[in-house]
Structure 1
Amino acid sequence: MAERQRGIRIEDARGKGRPVFVSRWAQHKAHEPAPRAVTHDYAVLGYCTAGTTTIEQRGHFTLQAGEVLLIPAGEPHRHVDVQRPEFWMLGFCPVCLLADEASAELLTPFEHVRSGASAVVKIPEPRRAFLEHLFVELRDESERDGGASPAVERSLLTLIISEVSRAADWQARSGAADGLVTETLRYIERHCLEPLSPRDVAAAMHRSPAHLTTAVRRATGRSVQEWIISGRMSEARRRLLHSDEIVAVIAERVGYADATHFIRLFRRAHGVTPTAWRARYRHGTGGEDPPEA
């Protein structure tokens, strides 16, 4: 799971680890700058509806009302100044979308940002109320007993990201070459559900395992192995929530031939076994701390 570093919190009433989570967030008190950049294993789309916040993410910029911020998974960022901002915050698991071919294209805007496009998209004023309505609807659906159905969740996520994409000018703003860490994270997201080791990733990146792990840890705070495990655990949680597959089958689907090893890693990451996690979150509200952005 993501490191517990200081940042702006995403309040997720359904508990930590769901494939998609959304909430309303406001900061009306004084907020000191985050002491260091944070990274997390989920992609974030933040829609500012009031106030401003200055963010460090491959440079500094001030997000204003009517603008959307895109944070790809693994992207270091921190809030350096906040002036009574109000946000809709949407987070989702990129590995889970890639596992579902019908949803994989939703990552396209985040890939543009990874490749150098602006992380901020200004929404035309006539479209802002509709975009906020989509956030409200997704939140209301997620708060239903048992949570939103995967189909409804995917449909609303698609509409939200489509609104952002239609407002963006990716071609005019992109052009920066992808770096080693960006390429590594992209490769892990697309292959972590297969048999994959840090040595395999290093070979694909044409680097030594030691060099790659050092570069990735320095940039994101986690090792290559930790990113592999994180992606697998994300997809495992999605399957625990939205399928009736037994734990041994889920273990195999996320890259573990040994179910016992999978259960041990899952317990280490979440504090409970996969079966206990499913029982807690599939029909309950859960009690884990919310994630941070």
Structure 2
Amino acid sequence: MAVMRLGHDSIANGSYEAHSHDFPGIAYFSADGGIVRTGKHTRHVEAGDLFVIAPGDVMGQAHSGDLVGAQGWGVFFTADALGPETPGAHLAWRTHPLLFPFVHGGATSALRLKVPEAFRQEWTARIETLHHELTHRQEGYREAVSAHLVLLLVGVSRLAADVVGDLRENAEPLLAEVFDVIERRYPEPLSLREVAAAVSISPGHLTSTVRRRTGRTVQEWITERRMVQARRLLAVTELPVSDIGRQVGFPDAGYFARTFGKLHGMSPSSWRRVNVG
């Protein structure tokens, strides 16, 4: 886990190329100032901005003057920072409920949320405490870091509860509608044509727009949402695999197992055994 200040002094002269990480993180800003480049977007930083950075999210090329006047913190961590019981294998960390906000595809840009003004001092204090614990490493610091990180992620989860609303705020009305349809209807049979009809555009236009804006097809997003729920049910229930398949939109148990296996490299039963015990 790493906590770092974000401001003019935190970026040296010169520039940094666009990059992505294979671990999650957040960037929180307590004051207006500077810009952040996420994906193809350049965003002017405002007080209370919280960027939720999923593994694979592309952070744009950074220049020395980008964060002039900015005041903020970056917090980056691996799943095991939440405790030894947190699934740590490839993809398994996504089943942790506090990490759901970080499962948004990594194809457009970091999710941008807003911390209400009444809570900004509390957010700053929480992150400063994390930084203090990691810097001084006094007895019990590991437990303290884990506890403060959990509270921080609870705050992220609450702010990210309405991801569709965030997409609308960021001028993505079509994507907001598409994800709204997927969220409401993924447990039932759902095709590209049905999503297109629900948002009142042609399947061809929907396909090209969603692929261009997110790097994925509509069907891939439907499958992703179903797999998130399938992993959660495998991790926190003892339901039979066939029942889980039906609950996430796969009435054919064999098709569910084949789809899950293709994406995870093992069957649902094996995944549960390896990642849950």
Structure 1 runs not aligned, ≥5 long: 1-22, 144-152, 284-293
CA offsets 1:222-275 (integer angstroms, 9 cap, x no match): 101111111101100001111101111110010101111011011110111111
Q: Distance in 2 between matches of 1:124 and 1:186?
A: 29
What secondary structure, in the 3-state scheme, does the structure 1 residue paired with 2:43 have?
strand
Larger proportion of helix: 2
Is contact 1:24-1:88 (8 Å) kept?
A: yes
- Choose the corresponding residue for 1:140, options 138, 146, 163: 146
Partner of 1:34: 18
Secondary structure class of the residue paired with 2:16: coil
Q: Does the CA-based 8 Å contact 1:49-1:87 persist in structure 2?
A: no
Task: Return closer, same or farther for 1:237/1:59 CA change in 2, 3 Å cut-off.
Answer: same
Matched, 1:279 2:273: yes
1:136-182 deviation per Cα after TM superposition (whole angstroms, max 9, x unaligned): 879737x9xxxxxxxxx7x87544545x69xxxx9xxx867542223
Aligned 8 A contact 2:188 2:249 in 1: yes
The partner residue of 1:61 within 26, 43, 68 is 43
Give the Cα separation in 2 of the matches to 1:204 and 1:140.
43
Which structure would you say has the larger Rg? 2
Measure how far apart 1:47 and its partner are: 4.0
Q: 1:140 to 1:124 in 2, by over 3 A?
A: closer
- State how many pairs are aligned: 221
User: Quick check: 1:87 aligned with 2:69?
Assistant: no
Gaps of 5+ in 2: 68-72, 80-90, 132-141
The answer to which structure, 1 or 2, has the higher relative contact order (CA under 8 A, 6+ apart) is 1
Which letter maps to 2:146?
D
Distance 1:82 1:268, change over 3 A: farther
Residue 192 (1) aligns with residue 191 (2): no
TM-score of the pair, normalised by structure 2: 0.58
User: 1:1-293 maps to which residues of 2 (within 5 A)?
Assistant: 24=2, 32-34=16-18, 46-48=26-28, 54-56=36-38, 59-61=41-43, 68-70=50-52, 78-81=59-62, 86-88=74-76, 119=113, 121=115, 124-130=120-126, 140=146, 157-162=153-158, 178-283=172-277
Q: TM-score, normalised to structure 1's length?
A: 0.55
Residues 192, 231 of structure 1: 8 Å contact kept: yes
Structure 2: how far apart are the matches of 1:158 and 1:82?
Answer: 32
Q: Cα gap change, 1:161/1:213 in structure 2, threshold over 3 Å: closer, same or farther? A: same
1:14 aligned residue: none
Corresponding letter in the other structure for 1:78: M
Inter-partner Cα distance in structure 2 for 1:70 and 1:86: 10
Contact residue 131 and residue 160 of structure 1 kept, 8 A: no
Q: How much does 1:187 deviate? A: 1.8
Q: Which amino acid aligns with 2:59?
A: R
Measured at CA, do residues 268 and 175 of structure 1 come closer, stay the same or move farther in structure 2, by a change above 3 Å? closer
Alpha-carbon contact 1:134-1:156 (below 8 Å) kept: no
- Work out whether residues 17 and 61 of structure 2, in 8 Å CA contact, stay in contact via their aligned partners in 1: yes
Q: Percent identity?
A: 29
CA distance in 2, matches of 1:82, 1:190: 41
Aligned-pair distance for 1:48? 4.2
Q: Quote how far apart the aligned CAs of 1:81 are.
A: 1.7
Residues 128 and 175 from structure 1, CA distance in 2 versus in 1: closer, same or farther, beyond 3 angstroms?
closer
CA distance in 1, matches of 2:95, 2:194: 21
Question: For 2:62 and 2:265, how far apart are their aligned partners in 1?
Answer: 34
Report the Cα distance in structure 2 between the residues aligned to 1:73 and 1:199, rounded to whole angstroms: 30
**For residues 243 and 129 of structure 1, what CA distance do their matches in structure 2 show?**
36
RMSD: 5.2
Partner Cα distance (1:24, 1:244) in 2: 36
